[in-house]
């Protein structure tokens, strides 16, 4: 049985108890499943006891059944990689910039979209900035009032 007190979670049995760390996701989720499935607490009450929803309880149970305890560790959320500015897209932006140093980010973005690379003008600008590929502006091109 899992007991919750001010110091945290305790895994308790007839002969003693073991303290559980707050950041030990696998053990806490496994303990919740054990209480819900084996101790007779039921999915709703077990999930509530651990601060989760019944729906999340069943998701965790399914993960455990399919992949074991290691699947109970939460995966990183959000995008897993830079899917817009891939290595190939960066290569193409640099290529276009070197072929025509006067080309604008807008035109590069249009060319890449036509070739099947979904990228925005702002992403092209970021790549140009990261690699130091900005246009060189001569002092004569700057109006006298802005110097």
Helix (H, G, I), strand (E, B) or coil at 87: helix
- pTM, two decimals, is 0.52
| Confidence (pLDDT) at 139 | 62
Burial 43-66, CB ≥16 within 10 A → b, else e: beebbebbebeeeebeebbebbee
Instruction: Please tell me the distance from the alpha carbon of residue 46 to that of residue 54, in angstroms, as a whole number.
Output: 8
Interval 17-29 mean pLDDT? 86
Q: What is the pLDDT of residues 24-81, one digit of tens each?
A: 889 889 989 999 999 899 999 999 988 999 999 999 999 999 999 999 998 888 877 7
Residue of 146 and 47 predicted with greater confidence: 47
Q: Which regions of the chain does DSSP assign to beta strands (E)?
A: 2-5, 8-13, 16-20
Instruction: Please tell me the distance from the alpha carbon of residue 12 to that of residue 104, in angstroms, as a whole number.
Output: 67
Domains and CATH numbers, the chain: 2-72 (no CATH), 77-131 (1.10.10)
| Confidence (pLDDT) at 44 | 96
Q: Any residues with CB less than 8 A from the CB of 123 and at least 6 apart, and which?
A: 84, 85, 89, 109
pLDDT at 144 over 70: no
> Average pLDDT of the chain?
87
Q: Are 84 and 77 in contact (CB under 8 A)?
A: no
| Confidence (pLDDT) at 79 | 77
């Amino acid at each position: 049985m899992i007991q919750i007190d001010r110091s945290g979670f305790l895994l308790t049995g007839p002969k003693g108890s073991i303290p559980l760390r707050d950041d030990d996701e696998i053990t806490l989720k496994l303990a919740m499943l054990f209480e819900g499935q084996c101790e007779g607490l039921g999915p709703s009450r077990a999930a509530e006891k651990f601060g989760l929803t019944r729906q999340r309880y069943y998701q965790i149970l399914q993960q455990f059944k399919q992949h074991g305890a290691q699947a109970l560790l939460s995966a990183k959320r959000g995008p897993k990689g830079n899917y817009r500015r891939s290595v190939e897209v960066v290569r193409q932006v640099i290529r276009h910039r070197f072929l025509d140093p006067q080309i604008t980010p807008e035109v590069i973005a249009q060319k890449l979209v036509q070739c099947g690379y979904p990228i925005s003008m702002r992403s092209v600008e970021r790549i140009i900035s990261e690699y130091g590929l900005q246009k060189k502006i001569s002092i004569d091109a700057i109006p006298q009032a802005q110097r």
